[in-house]
Structure 1
């Protein structure tokens, strides 16, 4: 993926002005690299959120009162030390960028959601790495459904999103329409974009192709090298999207996220749930 052209007559018009990510004190090198690289290529502001919070269990003293004492002091010092380490990592990664550090003694997901109010895109490590090293990290599902912003999930051990080839998982829903719009800055910079629709039988192929072709045509009007395909299969749609991405050599899948909140738990549709779980490539989800 090349840098965003700066000339007034360039075909590319969409861009991300601000990116936000959570920076843990350990294990954040990859997501930091991805976010900083995108900020440089889009000439965007980078917002780093350092957030950590410990909830102490009640400890009773001999007089029947709460006694946190040394435990609370130790944990408070640990949070302060962790946030300092995270800040150092962020400042090193964002050198030369317009960058802002926002520390918070709060739950990471809540802090990132709050910071996303003036950002265009959230960059977050995929859930299979969250908390593996004991760090508190934002829950990707919470961010997707609760932040009001598109979320870019970064796969393990990858430090750069190339986005030369992109697969758009298409189903004619509000969420998918929003995902295409949210991903437009990346789509306009790609060399090839495949709008992939998936259906279970030949009877629905024609309608599915018409829908996907209309989306591809609209993207071409916006300077995107897009084409449409339909796969007829009884395999899970997420699996088919991954197959299409592998065949195309794409490192990014764009799709809508389907889900809702129920008793403080996120209930997802099958496609979203599968893409959230240990993605093999970058995934941009919009709700």
Structure 2
């Protein structure tokens, strides 16, 4: 079993938000469970700030003060991360600070990580819109899976009971493959499909049977469920996850292009907005 895919390097966002502490705690527990290395990343976002000209002395002074504040916040987040790791008896960690925006920095570092750990944007936070965009951009542009933790609640376990949302798409297949370390460690794995989710070839039952066999060869025993629902698919997923007491939802993240932007699809965004359990997404 030693040669099976696992998570060897995890990435977690460090910032000054109230959600950082619980996010770091969860990332440490996951890293411990997989004997993985953990990288704490603190982007300052300085590169996105306006550059003052020499003639604008007051603006230059303000910019310098703002840069120093952002770097001090990053340094404080890094130090708190180090203290938390040491207090947890966790030794395999490192920290990174750069001046890129959160999204660009996370995407760049995620390419050389096995899993990125983020938090859902808190709608009551002043930075809600910016954080929501950051999470969406990381999911869409990262070459690795992203684990998003709900802003509310505490999650002492992630993946004890896993629910895979399946529609036989490329995105769903990639998400299942990316989640294999969690699925192998889970006590129970449920694969759920909804009759409204039909591919171009018709029903999903053949693909569900094929997925169940493939998971078996990966060391995962999965229960198959075919559901019928008259509510939006994001709501149906969350409702079924609650029924199953799932502490991990695995799903493909769907996006589309609009001019020069890449945007999340409605079901993916709907689940990110209303999630009540950790969600692993791959695009």
Same fold (TM over 0.5): yes
Q: TM-score, normalised by structure 1?
A: 0.86
Q: Which residue matches 2:172?
A: 176
Unaligned segments of structure 2, at least 5 residues: none
CA distance in 2, matches of 1:60, 1:118: 37
Over residues 16-39 of structure 1, what are the superposed CA-to-partner deviations in whole Å (9 max), with x where a residue is unaligned?
Answer: 011101100342101101111100
Confirm or deny that 1:44 pairs with 2:36: yes
Q: Which residue matches 1:3?
A: none
Say which is worse superposed, 154-163 or 43-52, in terms of deviation: 154-163
Structure 1 residues 66 and 97 mapped into 2: Cα distance closer, same or farther (>3 Å)? same
Count residues with an aligned counterpart.
273
CA distance in 1, matches of 2:109, 2:161: 30
CA distance in 2, matches of 1:143, 1:154: 14
CA distance in 2, matches of 1:233, 1:285: 22
Confirm or deny that 1:286 pairs with 2:259: no
Q: Which residue matches 1:23?
A: 14
Aligned counterpart in structure 2 of residue 277 of structure 1, from 269, 273, 278: 273
Aligned counterpart in structure 1 of residue 113 of structure 2, from 101, 119, 124: 119
**Deviation (angstroms), 1:114:** 1.3
Q: Which residue matches 1:142?
A: 137
Q: What secondary structure sits across from 2:220 in the alignment?
A: coil
CA distance in 2, matches of 1:158, 1:198: 29
Q: What secondary structure sits across from 1:21 in the alignment?
A: strand
Aligned counterpart in structure 1 of residue 254 of structure 2, from 254, 258, 277: 258
Over residues 188-233 of structure 1, what are the superposed CA-to-partner deviations in whole Å (9 max), with x where a residue is unaligned?
Answer: 011111110111399x9x9322222221222122221201111122
Unaligned segments of structure 1, at least 5 residues: 1-6
Q: Which residue matches 1:91?
A: 82
Spell out the pairing of 1:190-229 with structure 2 (5 A cutoff).
190-200=186-196, 207-229=203-225
Q: What secondary structure sits across from 1:15 in the alignment?
A: coil
Over residues 121-176 of structure 1, what are the superposed CA-to-partner deviations in whole Å (9 max), with x where a residue is unaligned?
Answer: 11101123696469975711100111111110001232433311111000111111
